[in-house]
Amino acid sequence: MLGCSGGDGSNGTDGTDGADGSDGTDGTDGTDGTDGANALVAITVEPAGANCEFGGQKVQAGTDQNGNDMLDPEEVTAITYICDACEGEEECNPFIEVAQSAQTDACVACHETTTPAIVERWQLSRHYREGAGCFECHQADATDVDAMSHNGETIAILVTPDDCASCHPAASAEFELSHHAQAGQILGSLDNRLAEVIEGDLSFHGASPVSVMGCAYCHGSEVEVEAGGTLAEHTYPNSGIGRINPDGSLGACSACHMRHDFSPAQARRPENCGRCHVGPDHPQIEIYNESQHGILFYANEDDMALDSETWVVGEDYSAAPTCATCHMGATSSQPATHDVGTRLSWVLRSPVSGHTADWETKRDSMQDVCGTCHSSGHVDAFFAQLDAGVALYNNKFAIPAKAIHDAVRGGVVPAVGASLVPLVTLDTFDDEIEWAYWYLWHHEGRRARSGMAMVGPDYVQWHGFYDVAERFYFDLVPEAQHIAEEALLDGDATNDATAQAILDYIETDVLCRPEHTWFNRCRTP
């Protein structure tokens, strides 16, 4: 019997997967791109001219294609002018209006017609840009002695240092300590007598026009207030630096920061100081102009950064010093000051020079300024020369001249040591010897000393010691001898001792000194 076929067998199970292959290696990095050129901006002062009517800043932009970290002319791609307030061409930014107080707007609405120049200068000032307007400076309390009612507001004509102190407290406090603030205290001085009595009279409200428009315009007047807050015409207008104001403050900031733009650049220029520091008795501007300092300034005015906010010598500018640089300006180690005496070690305006109080500290401060441009050896040698020159003036001329002048007027003769009988009147400027002595120290002696201090050789020599010597030997000394000799012959025995003492002092003491023997007037006792 045949058997049956069996069924198909089941499929076998799948085999397990093989292990994954390893990752391929990374591709190489691409090369770096070239660096882009740096963008640069250069800002320079733009002088007044076609691009900016009143000057401003020139801003140049571009890329540093050659990598020298400088913006070369061919790399400049854009130029913009940021101008001081002005009107004119398209490239000159038009005047930018700044919101002012309602009171100031009312002032401007009237004064831009009645006194347009004042308004225009103020609108160019930083005061305008900071919102310091007419009313902000001229407003007054009803109780102020010079207050006046003006178009519905209470104002004062004068803006005094106390008013300025509300925004400038440090500058005002420094100025108050300065000799400038005391400049108006000249009543009773010999200078004042010259202007009021000898040159003038008291026909102008009890004052001399010479004093009002001469002395007081620099020194300052004592401003008097009349009814309604108006100012007495013999005391104002006046911008003297030591003006005595109705509120009790001393000074006038506008003496240097002139109205109504109050420009720092103008205040820093030497001509600003030269308005008063000029002439035969204080020729500082003439001396500065002949000095190397002055020559450098006028040759490099465009490099002086006179509009700088900080104006630090050696940082903001280096071309030359001005008066303000040496006496007031900031250095890298000391701040600016409005006390012009903080760097003066000598008093050079008095008959006989002496050191100022704390003069060593003050000299250090001045030498710090000098040291910005000069080596310490150079500076030390200059001050050694100055000290020697002042000592020469004092010892050879000023001290004996003062002794002779005072003795003739009844003072003390050094060799005698006693008060004497006056051989001339005690009124001022009515005797020739008083004029001789005045010229010797007040004019010629000041010129010589200032010439040395400010490096003006012609004022040391021909306008200085030459004139001092001529005045001493051929004017003051002969006049004193003449007065004494006349007294010996006048028959009044009470004058004889004084007259002989003066002659002995001159002829056996002063003129026998080695520095005077060339004159051949020594009388051996």
State the pTM of this model.
Answer: 0.81
Residue 204 lies in a domain: yes
Short-list 507, 508, 501, 509, CA closest to 484? 501
Q: Helix (H, G, I), strand (E, B), or coil: what is residue 290?
A: helix
Residue 495 lies in a domain: yes
Q: Which domain holds residue 457?
A: 379-519
For residues 167 and 67, state if they share a domain. no
* Structural domains counted in the chain: 3
pLDDT(3) > 90: no
Query: Burial letters for 154-186: b for 16+ Cβ neighbours within 10 Å, e otherwise?
Result: bbbbbbbbebbbeebeebbebbbebebbbbbeb
Residue 155 lies in a domain: no
Q: Which of 30, 58, 83 is the last residue of a domain?
A: 83
Residue 432 lies in a domain: yes
For residues 383 and 513, state if they share a domain. yes
Q: Which of 215, 230, 255 is the last residue of a domain?
A: 255
Q: Which of 83, 111, 145 is the last residue of a domain?
A: 83
pLDDT(30) > 90: no
Which tens digit of pLDDT belongs to each residue from 152-211? 999 999 999 999 999 999 999 999 999 999 999 987 789 989 999 999 999 999 999 999
For residues 79 and 173, state if they share a domain. no
For residues 395 and 515, state if they share a domain. yes
Confidence class of residue 27 from pLDDT cuts 50, 70 and 90?
low
Q: What is the pLDDT of residue 11?
A: 53
Structure tokens at 327: 């006496």
Residue 125 lies in a domain: no
For residues 75 and 193, state if they share a domain. no
For residues 74 and 165, state if they share a domain. no
Which tens digit of pLDDT belongs to each residue from 218-241? 999 999 999 999 999 999 999 999
3-state SS record for 180-213: HHHCCCCCCCHHHHHHHHHCCCCCECCECHHHHH
- 22 burial (CB, 10 Å; 0-12 / 13-18 / 19+) is exposed
Q: In terms of DSSP H, where are the helices of 2-115?
A: 102-114
Could you tell me if 55 and 83 are in contact, meaning their C-beta atoms sit under 8 angstroms apart? yes
Rounded Cα distance, 412 and 419, in Å: 5
